[in-house]
Structure 1
Amino acid sequence: MKNKILTVLCILFGLMMVNSGLNKFFNYMPMPEMSEEMLQIMGGFMTIKWILPLVAIVEIIGGILIAIPKTRALGALVILPVMVGIFVHHLVHDISGIGIALVLFGINIWAIVANWNKYLPMMKNEK
């Protein structure tokens, strides 16, 4: 039962990440009202021209990988740095969005914990 719940949550999580990544390229979702601080932050991201396309590509690839059960372990690791960034951003700059960030971060951590045995061979210290 837990596995089925995790699968459904990971598919939804993956779709949200793919949607977010595609939106960075095609701008099809309206931007919410932003404070002056948020406008400055977004301006900084726009100045560094490579950062948003890189985040978008990681979101798309990680979202696809985490939605597929066979590649979920890899997808959970690929998307983890983006999720940490999203969580910290909302914690520091936009506390109103911390709820959804926390839920998504929790799903990501659950996917990592559920696939922990797949990471163990990478951590073995063979001589």
Structure 2
Amino acid sequence: MKNKIQFALRLLFGIGYVNSGLNKFFNYMPVPDDLPEALIRVFTAFMEIGWLMPLVAVIEIVGGLLFIPPKFKALGAIVIFPISVGVLLIHLTVAPAGLPMALFIMAINVWVIIDNRRKYLPMVHE
């Protein structure tokens, strides 16, 4: 049962990140009209750094795709973790309305990392 729940959450999580990454390239999702001014300033600054958003998009797509299949979930969780931290920090600092979803996303990411902690041990042990 735990594996089915985790797979469903990984699938939704992965698809969400793939969708977010693709949207950064193709801009098919409308931007809400009621974005906080501070959030608009943050994203405007991100856009000024020409390479940053394409890099984030590629990491979201690759990390999201890796997060779904059981064989690569440990790698996907580590690849996407910095993006999840960024999402959480944005919602903690400038867009608190999205904080519950950001915490949920971070919880899924951390759960998969903790669940796969044995796979990471060779990276830190000789």
Q: TM-score, structure 2 length as denominator? A: 0.96
Q: Cα distance, 1:69 vs. partner?
A: 0.8
Paired residue secondary structure (1:49): coil
Structure 2 unpaired stretches of 5+: none
Whole-Å separation in 1 of the counterparts to 2:59 and 2:28:
19
State the AA in 2 paired with 1:109.
V
Q: Which moved more, 1:35-44 or 1:112-121?
A: 35-44
Bigger mean CA offset, 77-86 vs 4-13: 4-13
Q: Secondary structure at the match of 2:28?
A: coil
User: Equivalent residue for 1:116?
Assistant: 117
Shift of 1:35: 2.5
* Percent of paired sites with the same residue: 51
What are the Cα deviations for residues 69-107 of structure 1, in whole angstroms up to 9, with x where unaligned?
100000000000000000011000000000111101100
Corresponding residue number in structure 1 for 2:7? 7
Shift of 1:3: 1.6
| CA RMSD across the alignment | 0.8
SS at match of 1:28: coil
* One-letter amino acid of the structure 2 residue matched with residue 57 of structure 1: V
1:29 is matched with which residue?
Answer: 29
C-alpha distance in 2 between matches for 1:53 and 1:7:
28
Is 2:40 the counterpart of 1:45?
Answer: no
Q: How many residues align?
A: 125
Runs (5+) with no aligned partner, structure 1: none
Please give the TM-score of this superposition, normalised by the length of structure 1: 0.95
CA deviation digits over 1:12-34, x for unaligned, max 9? Answer: 10000000000000000000122
Would you identify which runs of 4 or more consecutive aligned residues in structure 1 move more than 3 Å?
A: none
Instruction: Give yes or no for contact 2:36–2:95 (8 Å, CA) kept in 1.
Output: no
